[in-house]
Copies of this chain bind each other. A is one copy, B any other.
């Protein structure tokens, strides 16, 4: 399965989540898998790209059809996180940015 998200014609939305994991799992892997499964069932979900290095710094970018679909996802995600009470244990620090994709392409050319 490709680890790249689809490239629909812009505009659409990106949620850029950068996070430094804390040490230890504390249920993180199970939550993370559940989160992906739930996102895939949400209306307006386009796809996501995610990676994390050995020092625990991860970036996940999820893509959404429009503002309404990402706001709906935010409610679902926050509800799940609140249930798990894990946010402060899983992450030393994170930033979340919502951005409107204006243009996009892929490469390398001539592939």
Contact = CB atoms under 8 A, between A and B. Distances in A.
Q: How many copies does the complex hold?
A: 2
B49 A52 contact: no
Interface of A: 3-5, 7, 14, 16, 18, 20, 49-54, 57-59, 61, 87-88, 91, 93-111
B104 A61 contact: no
A-side binding surface: helix, strand, loop or mixed? Answer: strand
> Top 8 nearest A-B pairs by Cβ distance?
A99-B99, A97-B104, A59-B59, A99-B101, A95-B106, A88-B108, A51-B53, A51-B57
25 contacts: A3-B20, A4-B20, A5-B18, A5-B95, A14-B14, A14-B99, A49-B57, A51-B53, A51-B59, A52-B53, A59-B59, A59-B61, A87-B108, A88-B109, A88-B110, A91-B108, A93-B107, A93-B111, A94-B106, A94-B107, A95-B104, A95-B105, A98-B101, A99-B101, A99-B102
